[in-house]
Amino acid sequence: MIRNIAPLFLICLFSNLLTAQNGVEGNAPLHPDRHVSPADVSLRQEAAEVEYFGLQLSMLKQAFEAKNASNIVVRESAVLMALRNEINQLELKLTADAAQTERRRTATSGQISAPANPDEAPARDPLADAVTPDEKRFETFQYTLAAFERHSFDPSKPDEAARDFAKLDQVLKVMQEALAELQAARR
């Protein structure tokens, strides 16, 4: 009888280990990001940025409603930082696109040259006449950021705050439209 208990105990132990291991693997994919394309990573990052901006904006509105001055300052700072990050990303993208276009135009052999370095300055100012959707977004974001650089929300002035919130809501709408374009292009 004792001879049968030891193998039975070992079988139960190993089966419990296998069951526990399968339970962990069943809940989560084995390698969730193993075969993710750069476009998917970009899409995820953009979605997270839009969500963060929207969350910070709603928290700013809640702080304004509660008339919590310290929280208003913190949330406004977070909203502006998210806007600055978006502007920086758009500026890099526009510069890289313009440099790539310039390289392709000046290719002498008719073949497309190597990818452009984003640090290279294009021959023309890409934002002189905003034409592309990215250029228009960039200008919108820059104007909004300039309006809020030395700004503070004053709970005693709800009319001014309503106009300011409308500007920030417009920025969020533009960001959501850009995300929708990326999602549509990905499909």
- Would you say residue 30 lies in a domain? no
Segments forming the whole domain that contains residue 130:
38-186
Local mean pLDDT, 10-residue blocks, the chain (187 residues):
67 69 53 72 90 95 93 93 93 84 65 61 55 86 89 88 93 93 84
- Would you say residue 26 lies in a domain? no
Q: Which residues are CB-neighbours of 82 under 8 A, at least 6 positions away?
A: 49, 52, 53, 56
- Would you say residue 12 lies in a domain? no
CATH of the domain at 100: 1.20.120
Domain count along the chain: 1
Contact 94/134 with Cβ under 8 angstroms?
yes
| pTM (predicted TM-score) | 0.68
